[in-house]
Structure 1
Amino acid sequence: MSTGNIASIRAFFKKTKDKIFGATQCSEDSPASDNSSLLIANVREKRLARAYIDAVAKNRSTFVDLIDPDDEMYLFAKNNIGQKETASYLYFKSGMEALQCIENIVRFGGKSFGDIESFLDFACGYGKSTRFLIQELDLDKVWVSDIYEGAVDFQKKYFGVNGFYSQTEPSKLEFPRKFEVIYVGSLFSHLPANRFEEWLLTLYNVLEDHGILILSTHGESLCPAGCQVDPSGFTFLRSSESRSLSTEEYGSTFVTSEWVKKLARKLGIINIYFMEKELWGSQDIYVITKKKMSLLNNLRTNNFPRGNVESIQISKDGDIRVIGWAIDKEFGAPVKEVCIYAEDELLGKATLGMLRPDVEKHFGRADCLKSGWEYNGGDFVKDKFGEKDPSIIIKALIKGHRSEVTYLMSIEPLKQ
């Protein structure tokens, strides 16, 4: 990728930034521009997403915040998770958490992003994680591939990365080269057994000798209620969030680590490391290498805490109540501190240590029981945040014992 092409891409974003997630003259549910090929969020959704990007992006001015209208990961968030106004925020948050997972594994492998000469985001979708990755790597070192040609085209056009189309059958796909790091987020969590085996071997074969393959799966604990788990350790359901892919080829897959490791041995894959629920607090991660990397024997979870802002209540008298949960992935709960902000103004610190058996059960850790937190404050005056704001951004800064992470939620100001 030439310097001129990179400059033209950045110039495009500078020109269109306001039209996509900036200050637009539109109603809350109206698009900011007609005839746009890009998804335009409503004002509240836009402000929340922008607040998250400003909080976490390495370079806010060059971060690519465009979302394609066919992006199924975004549409799934909009239609199935939380409130519609949080969809973009949840989408970007998911991409950032994927980057944190990758960076942690790469670091334990004795590398840094600056050392990587070739990175493949396989089954990349429309770039939920790639948009964060390109803030760490030169564009000419990043490759993307997906069965959706529009997803690859979108990333090549707007991110400036290399890309090639994938195939349903691994044997029909010609890879342009081998790769030092291959990341496969949430593909193996959808494959039937034969494709799982074929893609695992195919991707292993295009890994550089000193490379790292990172893939995620659903563990059996994520099986839907009432689902009969196959005693083999591999359960495949013919359903998924995809609107177009055949459920024979792309469903929902739930596997045990024993099943995956047994398959790896069958394929001659010796070096494999397992991290339970490492990705998004739900999907299991497998790290595979061709050559033995002794540093990976010490592989541990990344130390970013996990949590959520679950509800915000404001009384007519101006009292505010914010409720959520948080865990330190190394030390459990309670975390060190949870600070509550309205916009950028600190309201106070939450009370920690409330019992959350649901969180304990999800993570399968007794030390996560006291993960609940709650903030109660009085005299919450909306006037200080500006009458023209369509919403107020409430932020919870969760501080673990080694690092911190930002969670956000949007609310409407009280009516006078």
Structure 2
Amino acid sequence: MNKAKLSNLLRQLNLIYFADLIRFRIQKIKNKKANAQFKKEHPNVALPPDYLMYESYQMNYKNYYNGGLTVAKNLSGYFKKHIELKDKNILDWGCGPGRIIRHMPSVINNGCQFFATDYNKNSIDWCSKHLPNIQFNKNELEAKLPYEDNSMDIIYGISIFTHLSEQMHYNWFNELLRVLKPNGIMLLSMHGDNFKIKLTEAELSDYNKGKLVVRGSIKEGHRTYAAFHPKAFVEDLFKATTVLEHMVLTSDTKSWVPQDIWIIRKP
């Protein structure tokens, strides 16, 4: 049985949470030595509780911290191609335990203000306590943000739509557009064509017809709730905006499958 079929079977049997908890325990044991070494070498780096880290990324302290810094630098490079990074309001939508946003003030600075929001109360509580120079807010799963209309110059969401239902894609995208300023840009990552190898035959058939593929049967927004995004679906989602870039990244490793990156501009 391949992984896709096993995943769907575990959902049907209501065992997906249990299986994911076992995976967390395995990763924690596997990374114990490396994580202890990282803490020894970086005693002043604030690290979130292990499960918060795992839930949004994986159980490796070095990858969480250094990987987050690398992504922050990469995002800054993408932003600079389309907007001047000076005195801007920048929002991390779905920030989790701050893997990326914690680095943004030092990577960008230049008079910018930084905001972050997430539906996980524990993540927001931890971030608010440990990560300075960022304004954190908690949102709900419902598409509603605590920001005024046209208040953000840049919004990014890394692997957030990948855990939402089809209706929530439209609800949340409309909400993000509401708070984005005219001529502001939005960067979003999706499960694109690189993830076709992870689909069952039935899922692949729908995907190739341009239909969003969703693996649900669990709490929406959880890491095991998965959505896969054919290009036609995403283009329809973004039809009220201008698509500036669509990047299909490649990887030389079999263990990591890169998500597509979409950059759009609000009229």
Fold shared per TM-score above 0.5: yes
> How far does residue 186 in structure 1 lie from its aligned partner after superposition?
0.7
Alpha carbons of 1:50 and 1:121: their partners in 2 closer, same or farther (altered >3 Å)? farther
SS at match of 1:216: strand
Q: Is residue 2:106 matched to residue 1:135?
A: yes
SS at match of 1:167: coil
Q: Is residue 2:165 matched to residue 1:187?
A: no
Task: Pick the structure with more strand per residue.
Answer: 1
Counterpart contact for 1:126–1:155, Cα < 8 Å: yes
Residue identity matched to 2:35: E
> How far does residue 225 in structure 1 lie from its aligned partner after superposition?
4.9
Counterpart contact for 2:56–2:96, Cα < 8 Å: no
Q: What does residue 238 of structure 1 align with?
A: 216
Q: What does residue 27 of structure 1 align with?
A: none
Q: Is residue 2:81 matched to residue 1:123?
A: no
Q: What does residue 100 of structure 1 align with?
A: 73
For residues 195 and 163 of structure 1, the distance between their equivalents in structure 2, rounded to whole angstroms, comes to 22
For residues 38 and 223 of structure 2, the distance between their equivalents in structure 1, rounded to whole angstroms, comes to 36
Q: What does residue 144 of structure 1 align with?
A: 116
Residue identity matched to 1:235: V
Question: What is the CA deviation profile of residues 268-306 of structure 1, one whole-angstrom value per residue up to 9, with x for unaligned ones?
Answer: 223442111379860111111124xxxxxxxxxxxxxxx
For residues 247 and 133 of structure 1, the distance between their equivalents in structure 2, rounded to whole angstroms, comes to 24
SS at match of 1:209: strand
What are structure 2's unaligned runs of at least 5 residues?
1-30
| One of 226, 251, 261 as aligned partner of 2:200 | 226
- What TM-score, normalized to structure 1? 0.48
Alpha carbons of 1:147 and 1:121: their partners in 2 closer, same or farther (altered >3 Å)? same
For residues 232 and 277 of structure 1, the distance between their equivalents in structure 2, rounded to whole angstroms, comes to 20
> How far does residue 92 in structure 1 lie from its aligned partner after superposition?
2.3
> How far does residue 64 in structure 1 lie from its aligned partner after superposition?
4.1
Alpha carbons of 1:75 and 1:261: their partners in 2 closer, same or farther (altered >3 Å)? closer
For residues 253 and 173 of structure 1, the distance between their equivalents in structure 2, rounded to whole angstroms, comes to 22
> How far does residue 131 in structure 1 lie from its aligned partner after superposition?
1.8
Q: What does residue 325 of structure 1 align with?
A: none
Alpha carbons of 1:250 and 1:203: their partners in 2 closer, same or farther (altered >3 Å)? farther
Alpha carbons of 1:288 and 1:76: their partners in 2 closer, same or farther (altered >3 Å)? closer
Identity between Structure 1 and Structure 2 (%) = 20
Residue identity matched to 2:130: Y
Task: Pick the structure with more helix per residue.
Answer: 2
For residues 88 and 199 of structure 2, the distance between their equivalents in structure 1, rounded to whole angstroms, comes to 44
> How far does residue 133 in structure 1 lie from its aligned partner after superposition?
1.2
Q: Is residue 2:128 matched to residue 1:156?
A: yes
Does 1 or 2 have the higher relative contact order (CA < 8 Å, sep 6+)?
2
> How far does residue 50 in structure 1 lie from its aligned partner after superposition?
7.0
Alpha carbons of 1:73 and 1:288: their partners in 2 closer, same or farther (altered >3 Å)? farther
What are structure 1's unaligned runs of at least 5 residues?
1-40, 54-60, 79-86, 292-416
For residues 172 and 264 of structure 2, the distance between their equivalents in structure 1, rounded to whole angstroms, comes to 13
> How far does residue 117 in structure 1 lie from its aligned partner after superposition?
2.4
Structure 1 vs Structure 2 CA RMSD: 3.2
Aligned length: 225
